[in-house]
């Protein structure tokens, strides 16, 4: 298990939802001079997807080396094929992660863009319309999807670039000449950047050296928490270690608040509900977000620790998927992230222990059954990665 390594002198900017992220991304792509690495789980066939696709193509047509990696499950087979044909014709290098699930159910759930090794974007935002549901492209949401990405400048960008390039290599078969060229490229010194105050770390989860790195980052922060923890996640079904860390923090007097998205997948809601009695008994505040689709995977601990990324707090993200988060040690950034989460909590519905206690036995039994099924499925999936 690799340790979380922080790097000084970074500028980390929080971008809320696609309205902030896509203009910043396209501005960076239009300014690209020599290299773009782009990863996403979903690359939708909608006006937002067309806008990003066209910006990537414009860069390639200027002579920029553009590499795009999408996930086969997230982008779906036929859209991925159509996208690949368009990109290939336009000179964009294109690959699909784990086509036809040849490597089991492994998914590249990461959302990363690196431009000229000077600016990087890491977060939870897919390439799709904020107003359309992730899993039902024609279903319009009641309000724009709630999600975040960070824009990073500074020394950390070199690490993000190297990881994205490594993922590109793992996703394809390269000839010897191509491997030599990429090795030479990786040895180049990254461009000099200005120094900024934020300490930050780039943490990934894979099935090789980083099987528990993202969870470890969370556990370390929860173990050191002194007064508050705010955590927002679309799906809540972490392992025992994670749940115990939340409970221990609450028992120490730390104010622990979970903001959980509901209403997207009934089975996932039932699994989350199975944890509520224990969470509430441990003094953890649980709030359900029902305003729109909560897709953010963010947290703030105390006044100076925050994370933004692609990793949900569930078994798929913590134990199976390929994921990527940025962890920031900076009071200003943490305060900004905290303000966003607190506003979302005001839009949520608190779960009260007395109300939950009056739920009928049949529904309560269904929650327990959902958890047992979920646990069994996760164990089956995990066999291939043990």
What is the set of active-site residues?
A: 109, 111, 116, 295, 297, 302
76 CB burial (10 A radius; 0-12, 13-18, 19+): middle
Q: How many other C-beta atoms are found inside a 10 Å radius of the C-beta of residue 165? A: 18
Q: What angle do CA 70, 152, 29 make, to 5 degrees?
A: 55
Q: What angle do CA 150, 325, 348 make, to 5 degrees?
A: 75
Could you tell me which of 197, 157, 198 has the C-alpha nearest to residue 306?
Answer: 198
Say whether 215 sits in a helix, a strand or coil: helix
Beta strands in the chain (DSSP E): 7-16, 35-40, 65-71, 93-97, 112-115, 119-123, 148-153, 198-205, 228-233, 236-237, 255-261, 285-289, 298-301, 305-309, 313-314, 323-329, 349-350
The pairing of beta strand 65-71 with beta strand 119-123: unpaired
CB 124 within 8 A of CB 232: no
What token pair was written down for 229?
């923890």
CB 66 within 8 A of CB 93: yes
Say whether 178 sits in a helix, a strand or coil: helix
Q: How many other C-beta atoms are found inside a 10 Å radius of the C-beta of residue 178? A: 12
Gap between the Cα atoms of 87 and 268, Å rounded:
35
The pairing of beta strand 255-261 with beta strand 228-233: parallel
DSSP string, 225-239: -SSEEEEEES-EE--
Say whether 120 sits in a helix, a strand or coil: strand
DSSP alpha helix (H) spans, 196-259? 213-224, 240-251
Gap between the Cα atoms of 384 and 13, Å rounded:
38
The residues with which 119 forms a beta bridge, in sequence order, are 115, 153
């Amino acid at each position: 298990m690799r340790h979380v390594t922080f790097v000084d002198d970074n500028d980390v900017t929080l971008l809320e939802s696609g309205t902030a992220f896509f203009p910043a991304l396209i501005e960076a792509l239009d300014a690209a001079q020599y290299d773009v690495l782009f990863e996403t789980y979903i690359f939708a066939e909608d006006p937002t997807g067309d806008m990003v696709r066209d910006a990537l193509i414009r860069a390639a047509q200027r002579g920029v080396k553009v590499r795009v990696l999408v996930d086969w499950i997230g982008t779906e087979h036929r859209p991925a094929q159509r996208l690949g044909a368009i990109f290939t014709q336009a000179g964009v290098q294109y690959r699909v992660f784990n086509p036809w699930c040849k490597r089991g159910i492994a998914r590249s759930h990461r959302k990363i863009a690196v431009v000229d090794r000077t600016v990087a974007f890491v977060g939870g935002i897919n390439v799709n319309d904020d107003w359309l549901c992730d899993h039902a492209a024609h279903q319009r949401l009641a309000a724009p999807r709630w999600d975040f990405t960070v824009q990073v400048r500074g020394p950390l960008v070199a690490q993000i670039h190297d990881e994205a390039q490594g993922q590109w290599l793992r996703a394809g078969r390269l000839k010897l000449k191509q491997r030599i060229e990429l090795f030479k490229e990786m040895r180049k010194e990254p461009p000099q950047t200005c120094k900024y105050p934020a300490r930050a770390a780039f943490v990934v989860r894979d099935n090789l050296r980083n099987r528990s790195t993202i969870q470890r980052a969370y556990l370390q922060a929860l173990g050191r928490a002194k007064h508050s923890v705010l955590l927002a996640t679309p799906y809540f079904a972490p392992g025992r270690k994670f749940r115990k860390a939340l409970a221990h923090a609450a028992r120490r007097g730390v104010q622990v608040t979970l903001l959980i998205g509901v209403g997207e997948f009934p089975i996932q809601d039932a699994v989350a509900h199975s944890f509520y009695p224990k969470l509430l008994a441990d003094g953890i505040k649980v709030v359900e977000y029902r305003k729109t689709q909560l897709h953010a995977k963010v947290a703030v601990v105390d006044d100076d620790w925050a994370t933004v990324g692609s990793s949900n707090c569930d078994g798929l993200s913590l134990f199976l998927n390929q994921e990527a988060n940025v962890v920031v040690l900076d009071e200003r950034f943490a305060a900004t992230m905290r303000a966003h989460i607190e506003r979302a909590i005001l839009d949520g519905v608190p779960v009260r222990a007395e109300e939950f206690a009056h739920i009928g036995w049949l529904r309560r039994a269904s929650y327990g059954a959902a958890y047992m099924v979920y646990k069994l499925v996760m164990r089956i999936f995990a066999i291939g990665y043990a």
